[in-house]
Chain A
Amino acid sequence: MRRVAVVGTGQTRHAKAREDVSQPELVREAARAALEDAGIGPAEIDAVVLSNMELFEGRALPELWAGEGAFAAGKPCLKVATGGTSGTSACIAGFHLAASGLFDVVLVAGFEKHSEGHTQTGMALTDPFWDRAVASGAVGNFALSISQLQAERGITEEQAALVAVKARRNAARNPHAHLQMAELTVDEVLDSRMLAHPVRMLDMCPQSDGACAIVVASDEPARRLCPRPAWVRAAVTRHEQPYLGDVDRRLLTMRTLRDAARAAYDAAGIREPLRELDVAEIYEPVTYAELAWYEALGLCEEGEAGRLIEDGVTAMDGELPVNPSGGVLSTNPVGASGVIRVAEAALQIHGRGGERQVEGASTALATGYGVYAWSDVVVLQAEAA
């Protein structure tokens, strides 16, 4: 694929309810910030990619209304919607548009305003023949797969709680994050309300209102617009169709993420991800998922994920800081969450991470997780290919 890079990022303040803004206004907040970061005006955008899960707000084709927030009026604009991977898939669509030669600068904007709808109702609208009658939404589905993960890999509730603590403490250094809990302890996580055994309230991501945008540019404009562009070295998507009975494919074996990671590392020339990656922003909708992803991403051997979190390998001062932003566990406006992963990975390379900056980060990983165990893996690097 031709060279493209992320040259600017912007996001809103994420919160439980952003009653001060409409959906287009929310999008505008992120889009304007991304353009300012890239040092360009709306006229320099050639195309816009949006990302949103419309049924969470009970809408249809919301980009028709909210697109103007992303300066899309009078421009080519399309929307990607694939559940949790919407944002990463929208970024990848933006990379492809910028690499096609048809567009030089593409704005990607993801948004969600969960407070205006009912997310779990939207989530329950699955396959009407096999899955819908269960109407479980996110928590129930994960509970099944997590029980299996515990049984097969010996993951403990304490290890999962450590992920929750790391995420919310990291989030305290991210001014955009929704849940900022600088003092959160393992005991508090273990004492939080049981939602569906073994998933507790503080194991789950929140539902947030928020938007995030990135500016993607092809080779020449990228060099002109950004002193240290985050070059796209790999952008891989893998889809899947597991039904409720295929619980193993959702966390334990997670063959989409394994396969996407392998393909992405091959493309980026990465052999030892734990050593060669400087920072990772992974899509962990629940604490246990982060531990499952450590394995699937090849950061550790089978059954070693618990040790990784216990030893602080993925802490801010560890060998590979995972989710310095606080991750999805701290902020989850679904349509934006994948864009946030890519934006946070890119801003680490740009060196604009503020208090959550990983010193000298030059290779960053971003992942997306959606609907039926769909996976996106993106590798960004300070060095162009």
Chain B
Amino acid sequence: MSVAVAGVGESGPALDDPRSIPEIVLEAVEEALQEARLGFDSVDAVVTASVDLLDGLTASNIAVTEVVGAVLKPETRIAADGLVAAIHGSCLVRAGAYETVLVVAHGKASLGPYWELTSWALDPIFLQPLGLDFLACAGLQARALAEDDAAAEQRWARIAAERRRAAAAHGVAPACTAEDVLASPAVASPLRRESCAPLADGATAIVLRAAGPAEPGVHLGGVGFDLSPHALGERELTEWDGLRRAWARALAVHGTRPTLDVAEPSCVFAYEEDLFRHALELDPGTEVSPGGGLFAGFVPVAAGLSRLAAVVRALRGPGGLRAGVAHGTWGPAGQGQAVAILEAA
């Protein structure tokens, strides 16, 4: 039995969306169901992803219960990147528990000071008192990488500029050059303002269905996720070990190593592309973030699920692409990692 992605829907990314969370989410859900040609009645179970502190709500899925159609239905609410919700959704189908599962993730960065809020996710005894947050942790990771690599900052500036150019038409920030990136102020040295994906509001929804392995459409194949130790000092900061483990699990589930036509990593910072390529031992022929990836707008929590949607759209497109990989990450310096292989059947 296989798991097919029957529909994807997205709202955003948008800067400072004036709508409420349920309004943003409903737009994505309706689009996904419409694509799948399904009504709410056909959905057997829902998996949602959200983070309480970012929404300012206890059990923040209370904001979306109605608009994801979870009233009197099973809903699993996961507090992590949305790609983990999709992976859990695929497990519900694989387990034979449900046939049709709606997966929804939302984030509204404009509600509060995102990076400052992330300090509350750090060990309150040893890390938070140092004044760190996820941005500062990323800065430390980038610094560790740049130490032995004099060309790193130039390379990351070129990557950021390339992504910003690709995203300019549909993203929340205009195109810029590598020189612009290097001239922008440092936010957590060596990270500069323009080498970070711009924060945004949005939601992504996908519909997963049990399917025969040869059924036409895009199938969610091998999946894997991982949580590394929390303390930065307990990790090799110049690598994403966790992604390497998650990828090994995904390949084991998949059975074979597919030729990847496209990769959609959740890179909020240009340097993370180096870590991503290295962890997956990505073939140089694989196209990375053709639409600019998260540089079109980084929607916290929904980011990984939006990458999955991007791969699905690429595989459905006219290019005849066969396989792609979607990636999500959460926590400080890539502590949590998730990865999923998608294939066109």
**3 nearest CB pairs, A to B:** A99-B95, A60-B53, A100-B91
Question: Is B79 a contact partner of A1 (Cβ separation < 8 A)?
Answer: no
Name A residues whose Cβ lies closer than 8 Å to a Cβ of B.
Answer: 1-2, 22, 48, 53-56, 58-65, 67-68, 72-83, 89, 92-93, 95-97, 99-102, 122-129, 236-241, 255-256, 259, 370-372
Question: Is A80 a contact partner of B224 (Cβ separation < 8 A)?
Answer: no
Stretch of B30-38, B121-129, B143-151, B187-195 lying at the A interface: B121-129
Question: Is B52 a contact partner of A64 (Cβ separation < 8 A)?
Answer: no
Name A240's contact: one of B54, B65, B230, B241 (CB within 8 Å). B65
Chain A: CB-nearest residue to B84:
A78
Question: Is B227 a contact partner of A72 (Cβ separation < 8 A)?
Answer: yes
Q: A60-B121, A241-B71 are in contact. Are A76 and B58 (CB under 8 A)?
A: no
Q: A64-B121, A67-B230, A128-B56 are in contact. Are A100 and B72 (CB under 8 A)?
A: no
Question: Is A73 a contact partner of B330 (Cβ separation < 8 A)?
Answer: no
Question: Is B331 a contact partner of A102 (Cβ separation < 8 A)?
Answer: no
Question: Is B230 a contact partner of A82 (Cβ separation < 8 A)?
Answer: no
23 A–B pairs (Cβ distance < 8 Å), ordered by A: A1-B96, A22-B125, A54-B79, A59-B121, A60-B54, A62-B121, A64-B122, A65-B123, A76-B226, A79-B78, A81-B77, A83-B58, A96-B91, A100-B91, A102-B253, A122-B58, A125-B58, A239-B65, A239-B70, A239-B71, A241-B66, A241-B71, A259-B72
User: Looking at A60, A68, A74, A127, which has the most chain B CB atoms within 10 Å of its CB?
Assistant: A60
Give the complex CA separation of A232 and B34 in angstroms. Answer: 35
Question: Is A64 a contact partner of B95 (Cβ separation < 8 A)?
Answer: no
B100 within 8 A of A: no
User: Looking at B51, B54, B118, which has the most chain A CB atoms within 10 Å of its CB?
Assistant: B51
Q: Is the interface of B mostly helix, strand, loop or mixed?
A: mixed
Q: Nearest Cβ in chain A — how far from B183, in angstroms?
A: 33
Question: Is A73 a contact partner of B229 (Cβ separation < 8 A)?
Answer: yes
Q: Nearest Cβ in chain B — how far from A209, in angstroms?
A: 15
Name B58's contact: one of A78, A93, A126 (CB within 8 Å). A126
Chain B: CB-nearest residue to A47:
B225
Question: Is B88 a contact partner of A240 (Cβ separation < 8 A)?
Answer: no
Give the complex CA separation of A101 and B63 in angstroms. Answer: 32
Give the complex CA separation of A247 and B136 in angstroms. Answer: 46
Q: A60-B118, A240-B72 are in contact. Are A78 and B62 (CB under 8 A)?
A: no
Query: Known contacts A61-B51, A102-B94; can you find 9 more A-B pairs with CB under 8 A?
Result: A2-B95, A53-B52, A63-B227, A74-B227, A75-B226, A93-B88, A100-B95, A101-B95, A125-B57
Question: Is A89 a contact partner of B76 (Cβ separation < 8 A)?
Answer: yes
B130 within 8 A of A: no
Q: A74-B229, A76-B227, A239-B70 are in contact. Are A61 and B330 (CB under 8 A)?
A: yes
Chain B residues near A238 (CB, 8 Å)?
A: 72-74
Chain B: CB-nearest residue to A23:
B124
Contact with A along B216-235 (1 / 0, CB 8 A): 00000001111111100000
Name A80's contact: one of B54, B78, B335 (CB within 8 Å). B78
Name B59's contact: one of A2, A100, A256, A370 (CB within 8 Å). A370
Question: Is A80 a contact partner of B76 (Cβ separation < 8 A)?
Answer: yes
Question: Is B97 a contact partner of A96 (Cβ separation < 8 A)?
Answer: yes
Q: Nearest Cβ in chain B — how far from A104, in angstroms?
A: 13
Chain B: CB-nearest residue to A238:
B72
Chain B residues near A259 (CB, 8 Å)?
A: 72
Give the complex CA separation of A60 and B300 in angstroms. Answer: 13
Chain B residues near A61 (CB, 8 Å)?
A: 51, 53, 79-80, 121, 330-331
Question: Is B62 a contact partner of A54 (Cβ separation < 8 A)?
Answer: no
Chain A residues near B335 (CB, 8 Å)?
A: 64
Question: Is B94 a contact partner of A101 (Cβ separation < 8 A)?
Answer: yes
Question: Is B230 a contact partner of A65 (Cβ separation < 8 A)?
Answer: yes
Chain A residues near B123 (CB, 8 Å)?
A: 65
Name A237's contact: one of B57, B74, B336 (CB within 8 Å). B74
Question: Is A1 a contact partner of B78 (Cβ separation < 8 A)?
Answer: no
Chain B residues near A76 (CB, 8 Å)?
A: 224-227, 246, 249
Q: Nearest Cβ in chain B — how far from A238, in angstroms?
A: 5
Name A53's contact: one of B58, B74, B75, B125 (CB within 8 Å). B58
Q: A100-B91, A101-B94 are in contact. Are A239 and B72 (CB under 8 A)?
A: yes
Chain A residues near B88 (CB, 8 Å)?
A: 78, 93, 96-97
Question: Is A64 a contact partner of B331 (Cβ separation < 8 A)?
Answer: yes
Question: Is B62 a contact partner of A59 (Cβ separation < 8 A)?
Answer: no
Q: A55-B58, A61-B331, A102-B91 are in contact. Are A77 and B73 (CB under 8 A)?
A: no
Chain A residues near B59 (CB, 8 Å)?
A: 53, 81-83, 370-371
Chain A residues near B229 (CB, 8 Å)?
A: 68, 73-74
Question: Is B97 a contact partner of A99 (Cβ separation < 8 A)?
Answer: yes
Q: Nearest Cβ in chain B — how far from A358, in angstroms?
A: 29
Chain B residues near A53 (CB, 8 Å)?
A: 52, 58-59
Give the complex CA separation of A237 and B88 in angstroms. Answer: 15
Give the complex CA separation of A75 and B336 in angstroms. Answer: 10
Chain A residues near B242 (CB, 8 Å)?
A: 74
Chain A residues near B63 (CB, 8 Å)?
A: 127
Chain A residues near B245 (CB, 8 Å)?
A: 74
Give the complex CA separation of A128 and B62 in angstroms. Answer: 11
Q: A1-B97, A59-B120, A100-B95 are in contact. Are A372 and B227 (CB under 8 A)?
A: no
Give the complex CA separation of A364 and B230 in angstroms. Answer: 38
Chain A residues near B223 (CB, 8 Å)?
A: 102
User: Looking at A65, A72, A125, A256, which has the most chain B CB atoms within 10 Å of its CB?
Assistant: A65
Question: Is A126 a contact partner of B57 (Cβ separation < 8 A)?
Answer: yes
**Which residues of B, 56-113, contact A by the 8 Å Cβ criterion?**
56-59, 61-63, 65-66, 70-80, 84, 88, 90-92, 94-97
Give the complex CA separation of A42 and B242 in angstroms. Answer: 18
Question: Is A96 a contact partner of B92 (Cβ separation < 8 A)?
Answer: yes
